[in-house]
C-alpha cells in the first residue's frame, strides 16, 4: 500500500509505512513510554495539617527548651531536631498536603491545593523527576510561622546567654524545612 493510499483511508500504521511486518520497541522506547511512578512523600518531613498533636503553647515551650539546650551545648548550626520542630510548628497553620496529594495524578509533577502559596500559585508540593525528591511550596501563613519560630528560638537562645554570662554566638537560621529529598 502506498502512502497516498493509506492517507486516503486514514491508515497511518507506521509499520506499513516503513514496509516492515512488525516493529519491536527497543528497551529505550519502552522505558520512555511507561509512566514512571512517583514515590510517596516522606510525610514526617513535610509540614501538613494535622502534623502535630501538641498545642501552640506546648510547641513554644519545646522551642524554648531546644534553644536553651543548643545554647548550652554551643550549637549554632541548624540541627535535625530543630528542623523537625520547625515543621511541627508550621503544621499548626499548614494546608492539608496529604489530602491534596491523594488527588495527585502522578503526571503533572505538582500537587495543587485550594490555598495560595507564598509565590501566588496553587502548588503545595513539587516533584523533581531528576532529583527524585519532593519540595514543598510554603504558604504565607507557614512563612509567618517559621519567622515566629525563629523569633522565639533566637530570644530564648539570647536569654540563655544573658542568664549564664556566656556568648555562644548567633544561631544559623535555615529555611531547609521546605526542601524535602527522598
Which of 33-47, 54-68, 124-138, 161-175 is most confident? 54-68
Whether the predicted pLDDT of 129 surpasses 60: yes
pLDDT one-digit tens code per residue, 42-96: 898 899 999 999 999 999 999 999 999 999 999 888 889 999 999 999 999 999 9
pLDDT at 20: 40
pLDDT by residue (tens digit) across 89-118?
999 999 999 999 998 887 778 999 999 999
Q: Give the pTM.
A: 0.73
| Closest residue by Cα to residue 97 from 129, 122, 65 | 122
- The pLDDT of residue 154 is 93
Mean pLDDT for all residues in the chain: 79
**CA 119 to chain CA mean position, Å:** 15
CA 80 from centre of chain: 16
**DSSP annotation string for 56-113:** HHHHHHHHHHHHHHHHHHT--S--HHHHHHHHHHHTTT---HHHHHHT--SSSSEEE-
Q: How confident is the model at residue 131 (pLDDT cuts 50, 70, 90)?
A: confident
- Residues of the chain with pLDDT > 90: what percent? 53
Amino acid at each position: 500500500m502506498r502512502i497516498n493510499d493509506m492517507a486516503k483511508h486514514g491508515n497511518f500504521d507506521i509499520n506499513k509505512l516503513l514496509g516492515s511486518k512488525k516493529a519491536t520497541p527497543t528497551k529505550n522506547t519502552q522505558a520512555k513510554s511507561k509512566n514512571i511512578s512517583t514515590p510517596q512523600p516522606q510525610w514526617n518531613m513535610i509540614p501538613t495539617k494535622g502534623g502535630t498533636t501538641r498545642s501552640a503553647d506546648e510547641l513554644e515551650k519545646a522551642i524554648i527548651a531546644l534553644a536553651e539546650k543548643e545554647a548550652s551545648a554551643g550549637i549554632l548550626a541548624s540541627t535535625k531536631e530543630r528542623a523537625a520542630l520547625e515543621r511541627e510548628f508550621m503544621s499548626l497553620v499548614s494546608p492539608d498536603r496529604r489530602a491534596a496529594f491523594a488527588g495527585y495524578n502522578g503526571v503533572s509533577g505538582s500537587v495543587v491545593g485550594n490555598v495560595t502559596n507564598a509565590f501566588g500559585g496553587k502548588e503545595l508540593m513539587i516533584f523533581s523527576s531528576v532529583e527524585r525528591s519532593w519540595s514543598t511550596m510554603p504558604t504565607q501563613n507557614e512563612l509567618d510561622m517559621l519567622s515566629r519560630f525563629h523569633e522565639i528560638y533566637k530570644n530564648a537562645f539570647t536569654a540563655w546567654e544573658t542568664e549564664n554570662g556566656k556568648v555562644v554566638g548567633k544561631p544559623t537560621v535555615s529555611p531547609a524545612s521546605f526542601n524535602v529529598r527522598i
